[in-house]
Structure 1
Amino acid sequence: MPIEHRALARASLLTIAAASLVVVCAEAGAANLGFLNNTPITYMKQRDLQALNNAAQKALDTKQDGESLDWNNKGTGNTVPIDGTVTPQNSFESDGVKCRKITLVARAKGQTQTWTPVACKASDGKWKLKKQ
């Protein structure tokens, strides 16, 4: 086979391989997030997340470890009712900063979802999630 044909064949093979890889990766990425379907977070819009954040800030500032604060998305404009609890846990100090593990619960359409991040109080007085 002439060298030009080999180069063209190789380029075609690489293009097909790359296209196949993109398709497989896209399908895998979608499949990896499939477990989130129909969970409360899939129904949450930005204003719902803000309502949850506001509840978390209030709970972290005012509640004792193990004491819960109820929250909901009423008034956010979302047609899907979402509610839950915010429960600060395990207060501790890390690098001279006050931190707390927090349990966030959201319920929507008969499904419940729970997260347990760690939040630390920033110099501006707001609680921020600690990078894991």
Structure 2
Amino acid sequence: MPIEHRSTHRARRALARISFLTLAASALVVSAQAQAANLGFLNNTPITYMKQRDLQALNDAAQKALNTKQDGESLDWDNKGTGNTVPINGTVTPQSSFESDGLKCRKVELVAHAKGQTQTWMPTACKQSDGKWKLKKQ
């Protein structure tokens, strides 16, 4: 398989894996789907190095930040202990809070750093009746 095709295939596999997680995964998928016609832009970006346990670490950090941090206050996260040999870290920063359809919602900035590259996503999450934050459909 040519190197470029392997990278695109790896990016597609990464996107398929993340589509099943909650907030963090949804944010990554939404960001990527905007450019789904050409996944080459994902080559060598943090998302291509993230495995399911890394995404869960990001999701856990997002849930914690949304529950405990004020707007503009960041929570650091990393993938230590996930088993991934690629170190990945970043921040989760709630940006603004508001109500939508009777739910508390917050815009949140998710940042990931891996192998000298940085990716940023800005989804909106709303707190559900079960207490979990879920991505607001746009």
Shorter chain as denominator, the TM-score bin is 0.7 to 0.9
> Judging changes above 3 Å, is the alpha-carbon distance between structure 1 residues 102 and 30 closer, same or farther for their aligned structure 2 residues?
closer
State the partner residue of 1:39. 45
State the partner residue of 1:9. none
Number of aligned residue pairs: 104
Q: 1:42-61 counterparts in 2 under 5 A?
A: 42-61=48-67
> Judging changes above 3 Å, is the alpha-carbon distance between structure 1 residues 43 and 121 closer, same or farther for their aligned structure 2 residues?
same
The structure whose Rg is larger is 1
Structure 2: any 5+ residue segments left out of the alignment?
1-34
Higher relative contact order (CA 8 A, sep 6+): 2
Partner Cα separation in structure 1 for residue 38 and residue 83 of structure 2: 30
State the partner residue of 1:130. 136
Structure 1: any 5+ residue segments left out of the alignment?
1-28
Taking only the aligned residue pairs, the percentage that are identical comes to: 88
Partner Cα separation in structure 1 for residue 101 and residue 119 of structure 2: 31
| TM-score normalised by L of structure 2 | 0.73
Local SS of the residue matching 2:47: helix
- State the 1:30 CA deviation: 8.4
Partner Cα separation in structure 2 for residue 105 and residue 65 of structure 1: 16
* CA RMSD, Structure 1 to Structure 2 (Å): 1.4
Q: 1:1-132 counterparts in 2 under 5 A?
A: 32-132=38-138
